[in-house]
Amino acid sequence: MTTTALTKEPEFVYPTSRQYPFSEALEQIVRGLEDRNWDVPGIEVEFYVYGSGNAKKREVSCIKGTDFRLRISADSSNTLTIPGKELDVYDDESGPTLYVYVGNDWDNDRQSFIDHRKVNSKLREQPRTYLEYKGECRCNKTNSWHLHRGRRSPVLAHTNDLGREYEPEEGEAKSYRTQEVMEEFASWLNSELLPFIGKHPVQQRIDIFKEDRIPFPDALGPIFAFGENRDAERVKTGNRNPNLLEPKEQYGLAGSGYRLLSLLVARGDTTPEVVYDGFLWAGFGTIDKATDIAALEVPGHYRWPYRETAVFRITPNRANGVFVADNWEFDRTQDETMHAALKEEPVRNRRTDEEVSQACLARARTIIPISEYAPGSFMDPVVLFNRELDFNEVELVIEAPRR
């Protein structure tokens, strides 16, 4: 197998758009935090990586403090929350949507207003803490509310969303001027947040994204994973000469988006955030060209027989981003819940969504970094890759014949 270089680090992308009055302030905030190695007391910063191969990009996805949260992206789709107000804007100028706090105890309601989704609060019988306003206009002869496709609406008018949201009371606004709202957000960022960041000294730049390489345990046996024909072609080409591939194709294998736990299932306090990521599922076992692919099984993973027709031997060069979970907990929990259910409903022949979710949660709770895994400690271990594999970690062993 030809040894090839590791894929490079994602390119960092700044919010350089100038679409809104507050756009420049967002870039200054990001650069100010970067100058301080993203370490300003009272401010948390989250990042997002997208793309593949050598075309990956990294950007700031969220900046949060006690009284504010900025969810931002390079394409100008932002959700900005400042004390008492939240504004959603999109790069295609749809919306915008404004939420205004109308409760009477900001200190008590602050976390809920900042962190929780604001959807149908009246319908769901939640306390009346905000009003919703959407971008609309009345510039036609009928004087009726309407939208302009691809053009920013000049007015943010109150909406009760077909009676599912609360109405303004006496003294509360029925509409806002869009430009004035955006300038208010820009003013807060420039007069409050930027000066706060500026009070902290600039630091000598360090690369906070550089990972220390974790050695892969020698005691673990061989690993295999399924893939598609396109994966086989990419790996063959990449192990020959990765420069023959487009930058976005310059990687070995990656997860398909199959999570350990659905986004709809609450993880609880004992389950790490990583279980919601998309993994490449793999199994322990020896394979060669004579191996019957139909006899191979990755615990917890269904192989699509007409799509996943290739099998790869994986030899990780580092343990970073590699985990192990015990699929036996999934099977055990499903059997227990079904056994209990049959006592109540003897003719039932399928599991409920809630029962399946509980089984997934039981398996998710077993996840550990592979560097901490002791062979034989799990009944039915599944290997989960939460990163792209380099070409020098992947070898195509079985490939379906061309038709």
What is the pLDDT at residue 402? 60
Q: Is the dihedral of CA 264, 269, 273, 277 positive or negative?
A: negative
pLDDT at residue 67, as a whole number: 95
Name the more confident of 226 and 94: 226
Place 199 in a pLDDT band, splitting at 50, 70 and 90. very high
Q: How confident is the model at residue 141 (pLDDT cuts 50, 70, 90)?
A: low
Q: Which residues of 215-254 are buried (b: 16+ CB within 10 A; e: fewer)?
A: ebeeebeebbbbbeeebbebbebbbeebeebebebbbbbb
What residues contact 262, with CB distance under 8 A and at least 6 apart?
A: 357, 360
| Rounded percentage of the chain residues whose pLDDT exceeds 70 | 90
Report the distance separating Cα 314 and Cα 304, nearest Å: 20
How far is 219 from 384, CA to CA, in rounded Å?
A: 17
Residue 49's nearest CA partner among 297, 272, 291, 321 is: 321
Name which residue leads in pLDDT, 71 or 341: 71
**Confidence category of residue 5, pLDDT binned at 50, 70, 90:** very low
Q: How confident is the model at residue 329 (pLDDT cuts 50, 70, 90)?
A: very high
- What's the rounded Cα separation, in Å, for the pair 233 and 378? 34
pLDDT in tens, 102-118: 999 999 999 999 998 89
Q: What is the per-residue pLDDT for 142?
A: 52
Residue of 169 and 338 predicted with greater confidence? 169
AA letter at 2? T
17, 75 Cβ separation under 8 angstroms:
yes
> What pLDDT does 308 receive?
94
Tokens of 315: 């030899």
Where b means 16+ CB within 10 Å and e means fewer, 35-71 reads bbebebeebebeeeeeebbbbbebbbeebbbebbbbb
Pairing between β-strand 11-12 and β-strand 57-64 as defined by DSSP bridges:
parallel
Question: Hey, what amino acid is at 335?
Answer: D
Q: How confident is the model at residue 144 (pLDDT cuts 50, 70, 90)?
A: low
pLDDT tens-digit map of 86-97: 999 999 888 899
How high is the pLDDT of residue 143?
56
Tokens at residue 166, please?
Answer: 């609360």
Tens-place pLDDT, residues 235-268: 999 999 999 999 999 999 998 778 998 887 766 6
Residue with tokens 């997934």, as numbered in its chain: 360
Sign, CA dihedral 5-9-10-16, equals negative
Domain boundaries, the chain: 11-198, 223-398
CB 316 within 8 Å of CB 284: no
Q: Where are the beta strands (DSSP E) in 90-201?
A: 97-101, 130-136, 155-158, 175-177
Mean pLDDT, the chain, integer: 90
pLDDT at 257: 77
69-71 and 78-82 strand pairing: antiparallel
Q: CA triplet 168, 170, 173: central angle to 5 degrees?
A: 50
List the beta strands (DSSP E) in 239-291.
258-259, 278-284
pLDDT band at 76 (very low <50, low <70, confident <90, very high): confident
pLDDT at 341 over 80: no
What does the DSSP 8-state code read for residue 154? S
Which residue reads 């008018």 in tokens? 157
The per-residue pLDDT for range 21-73, each reduced to its tens digit, is: 999 999 999 999 999 999 999 999 999 999 999 999 999 999 999 999 999 99
**Tens digits of residue pLDDT in 355-378:** 888 899 999 999 999 999 999 999
Run of H or E including 382: strand 381-385
**Taking residues 160-174, what's their average pLDDT?**
95
Give CA–CA dist 300/291, Å, rounded: 20
Please name the residue ranges forming H helices in 345-389.
Answer: 353-364
Check whether the bond before 154 is cis (ω within 30° of 0): no
Which of 151-165, 255-269, 283-297, 359-373 has the weakest average pLDDT?
Answer: 255-269
CA distance 50 to 59: 9
pLDDT at 1: 40
The residue-averaged pLDDT of 367-391 equals: 96
Q: Which two tokens stand for residue 340?
A: 């209990």
